[in-house]
Amino acid sequence: MEKVLEQYLDTVDRRLRPLPVSERVDIVKEIKSTMQEMEAEGLTPDAIAERLGAPEQLARAYLSDLLTKPQRSGWQKLLTVLAFYSVVGLSGMFVIPILGTCAPALLLCSVAVPLAGLMDCLFWYLFGIQVPYLTIQLGPYTPPPILGFACTLVAGGLLYLLGRGCWRLLVRYLKAVGTTKDSLSV
């Protein structure tokens, strides 16, 4: 490589001193390989330096990328991780057990309630018996078994929607925690 290009790389390297050594070496290697490609195309060292621009401006462009990246110190990273696990731990003590219990219980009830209404309706029409715990009663009023069965179907549908909603919330919570955990950079 020509002396002009070596001086160019040295100037860029000096201007990149605020960067960590590994990043600086990578940037200089990248510029050097670009220079070698231009030499292979038949450009003179002066033409290469002219095409790349002033070494100070090139280094400033790389440094501006560094300044636009959010930088956090080791303490900030540690505090971020501690805060994340504290919040997830506390919220998880309530969210996971509540939603994890409510979802299957509501889904089970969404099947049990219409079955109970169906049994009440069948016992009424087949045997003429009102089963005390299966019969729907609204104060002193007892609706006919068919109307009671329709009410249990509606109630079962609502319980199913609530159970499914609880399950979706639980899955969404777990995915959000996993995604946030993966995005933490320590």
pLDDT tens, 113-158? 999 888 888 877 777 777 666 667 777 877 777 888 888 899 999 9
Q: Note whether 77 and 185 are within 8 A (CB).
A: yes
DSSP letter, residue 91? H
Q: Where are the domains of the chain?
A: 3-68, 74-183
Residues 6+ apart with CB under 8 A from 181: 84, 88
Query: For the chain, how far is it from start to end, CA to CA, in angstroms?
Result: 40
Q: For the CA atoms of 98, 110, 124, 122, what is the dihedral angle to 10 degrees?
A: -140
**Residue 88 or residue 167, greater confidence:** 167
Residue 112 has pLDDT above 70, yes or no: yes
Residue 106's pLDDT band, with cuts at 50, 70 and 90, is very high
Q: Note whether 63 and 16 are within 8 A (CB).
A: yes
Q: Note whether 66 and 15 are within 8 A (CB).
A: no
Instruction: Look up the pTM and report it.
Output: 0.54
d(CA 21, CA 88): 37
pLDDT of res. 107: 96
